[in-house]
Amino acid sequence: MRPYQQIKKIIGIKAPDEYLYQWPELGTAKIDEATMLRLHSDVRGVTDLEPRHILTANRKRPKHSNYIDSWGSGAMEIAPGEWFPGVHPLLDATTREEVENYPGWPDMSDPSRVAHVAEVARKLASQNEYAILATPWLLFPFERAYAMQGLENFLLNMALNPEFAVALLKKNAEHCKVLMGAFLDQLGGNVDIIKIGDDLGTQQSLMISPKMYREMLKPIHADFIRFIKERTHAKVFFHTDGDVEPLIEDFIEIGVDILNPIQTSAGKMADLASLKSKYGDRIVFCGAIDTHRVLPFGTPDEVRQEVKRVIKTLGPGGGFMLGPVHTIMNDVPAENVLAMVDAVEEFGQYPL
């Protein structure tokens, strides 16, 4: 939120501070239209919401108490104004029966989740000015599993209790598909890109082995993408942080059209020339502007030069959508955000 507030101050925008998903604890700004125009954004988003009763309960809960989502997991305040995903309702579960009998499974067919979607998408389509990127924000099967269990517990279960781990992944995917189906029904044809994702990488490697991914999670991702593509002509945008280079062929195989965020500070993802050479004619890369060092700690001119470098490497022939590697965090100066978007206007015109 802080960089957004600073940008508004610099450019003289008086719009109020609002939050995506009506969730202030998440801290992600819902950017007003005037600021979007200054940022030269050529995409507009359509998201779902938590059910009305969840939103109401969290607005009314005692200050500083845990935020609990519709799955029963949630965030706790670990320092004033700092929230961490520390509520795990299936923390100690180890059996398929515990998965099936969990009383907190969400009602993904609650109409209040998507009641606004059709009108928002219709309005954007009628304007015909921007690409429409839509996502039901629900943490996808793998991320949802470690939200339910805690990361360490779920990774241990994947290694030591794979039958349970797969049962939890499949149960999560079933719920994700219910919401995705309702979401796509509301969108109709008014959508260009569907965003899904599961964070699979770290700074140096994968969170799980390629073998484990291919045996346990890839079939679930493949089924989810097939489910989406049977219902829409929109391109599938897959978000996964970290060094996921060993899995890019797998992503292409299961139908990922756009890979995000190309975390250039992480392992082999830093070698943009190699990524472009090996995969650039088969998948679109999205992101690649470093949020680990360049955006938070670089000068505006260093940001400008990094944008130029990345466009020169990933842009030729198309297949690149430029953006920051991560959400713009509070350590990024507003001046660097503006330097980034202005450099795109300077260097991002074809022919490069």
Q: pLDDT tens digits, residue range 77-110?
A: 999 989 999 999 999 999 999 999 999 999 999 9
Write the single-letter amino acid at 306: E
Query: What gap in Å lies between CA 298 and CA 304, rounded to an integer?
Result: 10
Report how far residue 58's alpha carbon sits from residue 16's, in angstroms, rounded to the nearest whole number: 21
**Burial class of residue 218 (count of CB atoms within 10 Å of its CB; 0-12, 13-18, 19+):** middle
Residue 116 scores a pLDDT above 90: yes
Q: For residue 287, list its beta bridge partners.
A: 322
The arrangement of strands across the sheet holding 43-47 comes to: 43-47, 131-135, 193-197, 235-239, 258-260, 284-289, 320-324
Short-list 134, 156, 135, 136, CA closest to 145: 156
Residue corresponding to tokens 């059209």: 257
- Residue type (1 letter), 332: V
Closest of 287, 297, 228, 227 to residue 263, by C-alpha: 287
Q: Are 140 and 75 in contact (CB under 8 A)?
A: no
Query: The tokens of 160 are what?
Result: 């030591």
The pLDDT score that the predictor gives to residue 110 is 97
CA torsion through residues 18, 114, 67, 95, sign: negative
Q: Is 259 helix (H, G, I), strand (E, B) or coil?
A: strand
CB 352: neighbour CB atoms within 10 A?
11
Arithmetic mean of pLDDT, 217-235 = 98
pLDDT digits (tens, 9 = 90+) for 34-51: 999 999 999 999 999 999
d(CA 207, CA 159): 12
Residue 172 — very low, low, confident or very high, per pLDDT cuts 50/70/90? Answer: very high
How big is the chain, counted in residues? Answer: 352
The rounded mean pLDDT for the chain is 96
pLDDT exceeds 80 at position 139: no
**Tokens 């994947």 appear where?**
158
Structure tokens at 128: 């015909």
pLDDT of residue 27: 85
pLDDT for 26 equals 84
Q: Are 138 and 63 in contact (CB under 8 A)?
A: no
CB 160 within 8 A of CB 94: no
Q: Give percent above pLDDT 70 in the chain.
A: 100
Q: Which two structure tokens, joined as six digits, stand for 348?
A: 């991002």
pLDDT attached to residue 129:
97
Q: What average pLDDT does range 14-43 have in this prediction?
A: 94
Other CB atoms closer than 10 Å to residue 114's CB: what's the count? 22
Structural element, H or E, at residue 55: helix 52-60
Mean pLDDT to the nearest integer, 274-288: 98
State how far the alpha carbon of 282 is from the alpha carbons of 252, 255, 317, 318, in Å.
Answer: 7, 10, 12, 11
Identify whether the C-beta of residue 257 lies closer than 8 Å to the C-beta of residue 284: yes
**CA–CA separation, 325 and 322 (whole Å):** 9
Q: Sketch out the chain's domains with CATH numbers.
A: 2-51+104-347 (3.20.20.210)
Q: What is the pLDDT of residues 261-275, one digit of tens each?
A: 999 999 999 999 999
pLDDT tens readout for residues 146-156: 999 999 999 99
Residue 23, pLDDT above cutoff 90: no
What is the per-residue pLDDT across 248-264, written as a single tens digit (0 to 9) for each?
A: 999 999 999 999 999 99
Q: What is the mean pLDDT of residues 149-173?
A: 97
Mean pLDDT to the nearest integer, 295-304 = 98
